[in-house]
Structure 1
Amino acid sequence: MFKKQILFVMGVSGSGKSTIGKLLADKLNIPFFDGDSFHAEANVKKMSEGHPLNDDDRQGWLERLNEVGIENLSTGAVIVCSALKQKYRTTLGHNLENKHQFIYLEGSFELIDARLNKRKNHYMPKGLLKSQFEILETPIEALSVSIDQSPDEIVNEILEKL
């Protein structure tokens, strides 16, 4: 039985956050929110030009995603976002009354780079992958799942661990 909570599906670009997040939300019959759709236009423009966001760029975005979590506490929700640093995860979990869980989609640079080479029509240039791995602070508190398996296998593993 799923305990109503906010599930943050996190990881670097290309790790499968949106795919896994949608599947997980469908299986749990809870709302799905893609963090990318909450970025300010200036952030999307900056990333599409190949420039990584800095902490100041991300702050309002992280606060908005936290608000989405708070707004959906009664039903539970899946929110996907990179959440690469501990301080980002702290902002995301603020006032969620410990009713949230981070799910870290873990994969090697080589595996994810190969995936990004196949991706089309995404605003995040694959050149930014290196910068994401450089700032990634591997979460200790998260439920970690290897992405070196099928999406259904990943979701099943998450459901077992929840």
Structure 2
Amino acid sequence: MTTPHVVVVMGVAGTGKTTIGPLLAGRLGVPYAEADDFHPPANIAKMTAGTPLTDEDRRPWLDAIGDWAQGRAGLGGVVSCSALKRAYRDRIRSAAPDVVFVHLTGDRALIGERMAQRKGHFMPTALLDSQFATLQPLQEDETGVAVDVGGTPYEITERAVTALHGLGDPGDPGDPGDRNGQNGQNDR
């Protein structure tokens, strides 16, 4: 019997990680964790003030996410996390080697518009450019898929499920057939 993966829903702020993560977890029948909840208060204060986090700031946050993912190994789970740099993803994988990434991607204008409409989130739109500058997309040797954020949350979630099936993800029942490459996804 195969065991479910832990999926990290990644991408720049405003791509919908907090919306898609719980939908994907529900679709896969596994628990969801919001990575923002793993931030220490000092990190939230910096971001609220419009100050980008340093790699040093992110280390304990990434370690906590990796620990959560490792604790879900064999059980499955979904966690949202920006995971913008390869080094960040490597740090998570050092604790949980079998994680799979779903990289939510989209046009900067669309993402900026969505960010501007958010209420009560500590990440200001002013930091979006720094997020795009930092972003290192998934590389060929990283287990994961890229999913475009155009469309409704349901459509995005279904594209993610289909893309995960293309990787052989056992977290969702059913036979996805040969759907690699559909809907603009970039399967890796």
1:113-149 Cα distance to aligned partner (Å, 9 max, x none): 1111111111111101111001111112330000011
Equivalent AA in structure 2 for residue 83 of structure 1: A
**Partner residue of 1:146?**
148
1 CA distance for matches of 2:136 and 2:163? 22
1:47 matched to 2:47: yes
1 CA distance for matches of 2:160 and 2:118? 25
1:57-115 Cα distance to aligned partner (Å, 9 max, x none): 00010011000000111210101010000000001111424x22100000111110111
1:103 matched to 2:102: yes
Equivalent AA in structure 2 for residue 152 of structure 1: Y
Residue 104 of structure 1: SS of its match in structure 2? strand
2 CA distance for matches of 1:94 and 1:144? 21
1:28-53 Cα distance to aligned partner (Å, 9 max, x none): 11010000011000000000000000
Pairing of 1:11-160 with structure 2 (within 5 A): 11-97=11-97, 99-140=98-139, 141=142, 142-160=144-162
1 CA distance for matches of 2:69 and 2:161? 20
Distance 1:105 1:35, change over 3 A: same
Residue 132 of structure 2: SS of its match in structure 1? helix
1 CA distance for matches of 2:158 and 2:10? 17
Equivalent AA in structure 1 for residue 118 of structure 2: R
Distance 1:93 1:29, change over 3 A: same
Alignment TM-score, normalising by the size of structure 2? 0.82
Residue 158 of structure 1: SS of its match in structure 2? helix
Residue 120 of structure 1: SS of its match in structure 2? coil
Larger RCO, structures 1/2 (Cα 8 Å, 6+ apart): 1
1:161 matched to 2:160: no
Residue 13 of structure 1: SS of its match in structure 2? coil
- C-alpha contact 2:67 2:96 (8 A) present in aligned 1: no
Alignment TM-score, normalising by the size of structure 1? 0.95
1 CA distance for matches of 2:126 and 2:94? 31
Of 149-158 and 61-70, more deviation after overlay is shown by 149-158
